[in-house]
Amino acid sequence: MSVLHQTQKISAKEQARALWVSTGAFTICFAVWTIFSIIGVRIKEELGLSEVQFGLLIGMPILTGSLIRIVLGIWTNRYGGRLVYTVTMLAAALATFLLAHATTYPQMLLAGLGVGLAGGSFAVGVAYVSPFFPPEKQGTALGVFGAGNVGAALTKFLAPLLLVPFGWQVVAEVWAGVLLLTAVVFWFTTEDDPQFSVRRNCGGSRKRFLSEFEPLKNIQVWRFALYYFFAFGGFVALALWLPRYLVGVYDFRIETAGMIAAAYSIPGSIFRAYGGALSDKIGARKIMYAMFAVAAVTTLILSVPAGGAGVGMPIVTPIVFVGVIFVLGFCMSLGKAAVYKHIPAYYPAHVGAVGGVVGMMGGLGGFILPIAFGFLKDVTGLWSSCFMLLFAIVAVSLIWMNTSIRQSKRHAGEGMSAGAFAR
């Protein structure tokens, strides 16, 4: 019996419960995953860390949370999303609590490895939520789930309220406690996803672990990964880089630059749900074409060498820059949802593995690109070099996507393939 047939028997109440409880859990996970964005500054002061040590500390959860996604995605396929999601949250909560009691830099790095598990929950949630919905609704569902990225804003707004009067250790303890409570609520309010339930009830033999990696031999998976490297990784990188850019180029006050970066991040997370709905309505492929087209224009505009730091007056004025960057962020938020609309359509039996590797590459983008931005600034002396790099990624992605689609249309029966769901 097909998974699609099974999803048709699921009530709207069951779908809503799976989606909203998972989204709430992912929001808390994302808040924990980005905890170092606030407490890291205080830790740097207390330990007297160098810039390199500080960068490694705040980047550790991002890196490990990205790399672990493929393993967690595969485990979700094998053991069920309800169990894996709960265990992942419990492990991340324990690591966050231990972080509060770490006193040395190596201990904090080790705790950061565990905190990174919270970010890996994205791959678990995608594989858990998608089987509850038929293909024509999966884009909307995964878009809503992905909007849990707004958890980063929760940390930015709420953590300072505890940090200033009580210290960073209390922030870590409270965040750990909230995540522990979230894990308990998730376990007792959800049920196994239908795909896993069918395999368990039918007594089917579990696939060999290595066979879970079979789809990764398909170059198409890595094409999707490149899309997400830009859409998600580029979005996260810009959210981190914007305050520094605005201060360096336009001499903004750090408070103003931070508020602009926060305003950039929140809508970019929320509009991901809208991107999922649009992908269901008009097709993910059209959304991807639109995203890359607009991104090419906006990054090209922003690539014009800007002033600041004694290089001359900015060619792109502050008002124009903020307007264009918000357009770019909006398109990225739609693109993030469109990428994940493709995965259950093309790889319904391997959502965990494929979604895991795509999510991994997106997370790595958020880790690698800020480093690349700084390197290019040092080498070229141009602040706008970061947008030159993004334009190059967009150009390669657009050319690769267009070429692949043209080739696929030469194959007979393309209109009957799973790709019909993603057009």
Average the pLDDT over 53-65 and give the result. 83
Alpha-carbon gap, residue 226 to 231, rounded angstroms: 9
Tokens of 255: 């408070």
pLDDT, position 211? 63
- Chain CA centroid to CA 307, Å: 32
The reported pLDDT for the residue numbered 94 is 97
Report the alpha-carbon distance of residue 38 to residue 44 in Å, rounded: 11
* Interval 250-291: pLDDT, tens: 888 766 777 787 778 777 777 888 888 888 889 888 999 999
DSSP 49: -
Q: Which domains does the chain possess?
A: 10-200 (1.20.1250.20), 212-407 (1.20.1250.20)
| 384 Cβ neighbours under 8 A, 6+ residues apart | 302, 303, 304, 305, 306
CA distances (Å), origin 327, targets 12, 56, 369: 34, 31, 20
Distance of CA 25 to the CA centre of its chain: 15
Place 311 in a pLDDT band, splitting at 50, 70 and 90.
very low
Q: What one-character DSSP code corresponds to residue 119?
A: H
The CB density around residue 362, as the number of other CB atoms within 10 Å, is 27
Rounded CA separation 219/226 (Å): 11
Enter the pTM of the model: 0.75
- The two structure tokens encoding residue 310: 């004694």
Q: Which two tokens stand for residue 345?
A: 């359509």
What are 1's two structure tokens? 């019996």
Q: What is the mean pLDDT of residues 38-54?
A: 83
CB 212 within 8 A of CB 342: no
pLDDT digits (tens, 9 = 90+) for 104-153: 999 999 999 999 999 999 889 988 998 999 888 888 888 889 888 888 87
Q: How open is the CA angle 73-79-85, to the nearest 5 degrees?
A: 60
Report residue 388 as tokens.
């030159």
Q: How far, in Å, are 123, 151, 169, 244, 312 from residue 43 at the CA level?
A: 30, 21, 10, 20, 37
CA distance linking residue 265 with residue 273, whole number of Å = 14
Residue 151, token pair as written in the block: 């958890």
pLDDT tens digits, residue range 9-34? 778 888 999 999 999 999 999 999 98
| Six-digit token string for 267 | 């809508």
Rounded Cα–Cα distance for residues 319 and 162 (Å): 34
pLDDT digits (tens, 9 = 90+) for 198-217: 666 665 555 565 666 677 78
DSSP per residue, 241-309:
HHHHHHHHHH---HHHHHHHHHHHHHHHHHHHHHHHHHHHHH-HHHHHHHHHHHHHHHHHHHTSPP--T
Whole-angstrom Cα distance, residue 245 to residue 292?
23
Q: Tell whether the model's pLDDT for residue 1 goes beyond 60.
A: no
pLDDT in tens, 334-384: 998 899 888 888 888 777 778 888 888 988 898 888 888 888 888 888 888
Please provide the average confidence, as pLDDT, over all residues in the chain: 84
Percent composition of the chain: helix, strand, coil (DSSP 3-state, to 5): 85, 0, 15
